[in-house]
Chains A and B, each alone.
Chain A
Amino acid sequence: MSSAARPAPPEAQKDQSQLRQKQMIARHFDRLAAAPETGEKCAYTFVPGNLSELLLSFGVLPVLPEINSLQSAMRGKSAEYISIAEKQGHSEDVCTYVKSDIGMLLSGNIGPTGQRLPNPDLLLLSYTGCFTFMKWFELLREEYHCPVAMLHVPYQADGHVTPAMRQYVVEQLRRKVIPMLEQLTGRAYDEERLRECLKLSAQAEDDLVWVLHSARSVPSPIDSYFGAVYYLGPIFSSFRGTPDAVAYYRELRAEIADRVRLGKGPVTPDGEMGRERFRVVVEGPPNWTSFRQFWKMFSDEGAVAVASTYAKVGGVYDLGFRHDPDHPLETLADYCLGCYTNLSLPTRIDLLVRYLRDYQADGFLINSVKSCNSFSAGQLHILREVESRSGRPGGFIESDLVDPRYFSAANIKNRLESYFQMLEQKRPEGRA
């Protein structure tokens, strides 16, 4: 059957909060598209360790290349973009987010809304939890010839933040990042404005955490891996610190509270999910090229992700961190230092074991993506350790972020089905 004759998938069911988010995103991309005319400055930056509030306080618009790459994958564009980058000499071995972004740039830099993204006025390289970020912006610098503000965030190798680590980040913010933003915008650093943004962040974070914790209910009203992608959109990207984000999370919380009250499970793109049969914790990012198909492999089996580590790459708020307006630069430092991929392997293992317990999960799954060594190197060790410490069975599947060549649907489905069968067999008698 030709692709032209293939029936379109049914339209995904959307909650009111999702529609609100869609409008927020549309407005943001409109502003970006108009930036060359309006003169608004924009900075490209990354999700983990993003400095949204600081950018907001300077009136700088953020662009997040990771989000563009995953959006390219969801729109079926990433294969072409990756191919373009590989033809330019980028290795088949390296991160496909990078290659998709570079392919998109070389194809006219058309963003997810079909509008052209502005060139960056600044590359804000927040080097948090991922070595590839540094190389990515070295590559982009060669394309855009714009300044780079580098913020080196130390790694929590021993499971905690030391005063020296915090001080290092704060001083870089004070002496490097802020002066570059001042120079870029012609505005002086306004700490009061930053405090206001941080206050709004903390409000939104409270509601987000409430939503994430709602998955402790049985049945869980949310999916904390696939569904969480939508819930995290505003806070991980351009809206943390805005009144829009506060309104979004308030609305989302109310919707989820209703679902809890009614004893409902998550909403999937295909509608209300059926009976919750398996509660799983998921480690690793999702695959974006077949996101909906991947989710369906879970929901068809009645499997709900009740917690995930991917939902913490932009901040581990559920362990208590909140942006603190009383200590603006210190809190930005703590935020950057605390993102999930900046945590040591033993800390990641502790977190997974804790999730399994706190969310009454039947087991855990690792989706190991080829592109991301920050996540993937050590995941087989994580698998063994978490199994051993929690006594819950683990499953392991492999795919990629945005390269469809590495998503083998039949293979993944087969593994998932076997895994869920195993969970069924291991289930204590009397539990269905």
Chain B
Amino acid sequence: MSAPTLAELLERAGGLYRDYRLGSVREWKARTGGLAVGYMPIYVPRELLHAQGVLPVGLMGGRDDLEIIKGDAYYQSYICHIPRSTIELGLNGSLDCLDGLLFPAICDVIRNLSGMWQMLFPDKLVHYLDLPQNFERELGGEFYRQDLLALSGLLTARGAAALDPEALRRSISLYNENRRLVRELYDLRRQKPWTLPTHELYLVLRAALVLPVEDSSALFRDYRELAEADPGRKPLDQARVLLTGSFCEQPPLGLIKTLERAGCYIVDDDFVQVHRYIRGDIATEGDPLENLVRAFLEDAAASSTRYIDEGVKGEELLLRARESGTEGVLFCAPSFCDPALLDQPMLVRAVDRQGLPWTAFKYSENSGQFQVIREQAGTFADSIKLWSNA
């Protein structure tokens, strides 16, 4: 088979992103006979599933093209959108191919959704991954290790392979490579944002959620190679912005395109954060389960869903802003997202201290009108280009 063109690669990524019925997962299951287990944002240790022969499948709700028929009957108007689209996809059979779903502890809405899922889909594996908020090895670390062992046992009970340390080491290596490739993409975008427009990079990151890690790494490699080789990609006079707040419910692709068309180069973001939640490589020597635990405790992104114990709120955001040469910050959170919106005043304060300009708006995954955001982002980008000292 010949190598794909960039257009073909993006077409494929777009197809995977748009396929609510998870056709690629169904094909994988038919081919391998393995289990496929979904996970909600923003982080689960996919290495563990992979090591037991399970395909981890990242779910991130719906988009603006998903008609919510049943999901709205489960949620009041003041609750974010992702649980209703997830329920919709569950009830309309789109997620039938999944043997289970993991709910990491990120907020009360996802937490309560885990209980609903238990009742709505009693034949499926449902596990609430109670990520610790204490990051000491003997406290939160021990609890987390026990939780991972419990999850592993549940997978085995469903027919997955037993957890084997050697298999887990191999899986960690594969995911290390995968994360390295994502870091390289982000590095490249920071250096030459015109080479990797965010609306493309985003599609690739989303597509990777439903692929086996080996295929997802190949996708990242191919995308970088093809994008770098494209002679038509030239720098524009855009404002370099860091976008934050979009780690769970995702904005419609149209909103990302709108921001770029409004004059913003998104040089850093927290979209599809599972790819970058663990920042560096996870050790492969020694006890691999312990290494997974340590990585979560010691090397995870400073997400809004994570208690900042000794650290300073916003410190990591400012570091990322410096590293990416950010000229302004876009606070771009889903409506009614507690973690993002409760964090925002503290992050704004940090950004203000740094003297960075910022603007804020909200969206929903099914937002269809971007005119107001376009005007706001356009004005923001213009003001940076015209007046900012950043």
Contact = CB atoms under 8 A, between A and B. Distances in A.
A424 B343 CA distance: 47
Most chain B beta-carbon contacts within 10 A, residue among A88, A95, A162, A376: A376
A378 B342 contact: no
Contacts of A136: 342
A164 interface: yes
B243 to A, nearest CB: 17
Interface stretch (B37-45, B204-212, B305-313): B305-313
Given A89-B344, A131-B338, A377 B79 contact: yes
Majority DSSP secondary structure for residues of B touching A = helix
Contact of A373 (B79, B136, B150): B79
Given A93-B341, A152-B140, A376-B79, 14 more contacts: A91-B342, A132-B338, A136-B342, A138-B308, A142-B349, A157-B114, A157-B127, A164-B142, A164-B147, A168-B134, A345-B115, A373-B109, A374-B111, A377-B108
Contacts of A257: none
B105 interface: yes
Interface stretch (B58-66, B70-78, B274-282): B70-78
Given A131-B107, A138-B346, A172-B134, A165 B143 contact: yes
B132 interface: yes
Contacts of B136: 175-176
23 contacts: A89-B345, A89-B348, A93-B362, A98-B342, A127-B307, A131-B107, A136-B342, A138-B343, A142-B349, A152-B132, A157-B103, A164-B142, A164-B147, A168-B132, A172-B139, A176-B134, A176-B136, A370-B78, A377-B75, A378-B115, A380-B75, A381-B74, A398-B76
Interface of B: 73-76, 78-79, 83, 103, 105-109, 111-116, 118-119, 127-128, 130, 132-134, 136, 138-140, 142-143, 146-147, 150, 304, 307-309, 313, 335-339, 341-346, 348-349, 362
Contact of A175 (B105, B139, B146, B362): B139
Nearest to A158: B128
Contacts of A398: 76
A131 B111 contact: yes
A385 B122 CA distance: 14
A155 B109 contact: no
A91 B138 contact: no
Contacts, number: 153
B119 A385 contact: yes
Given A154-B130, A377-B79, A130 B108 contact: yes
B1 to A, nearest CB: 45
Majority DSSP secondary structure for residues of A touching B = helix
Contacts of A348: 115
A346 interface: yes
Contacts of B313: 138, 142
A344 interface: yes
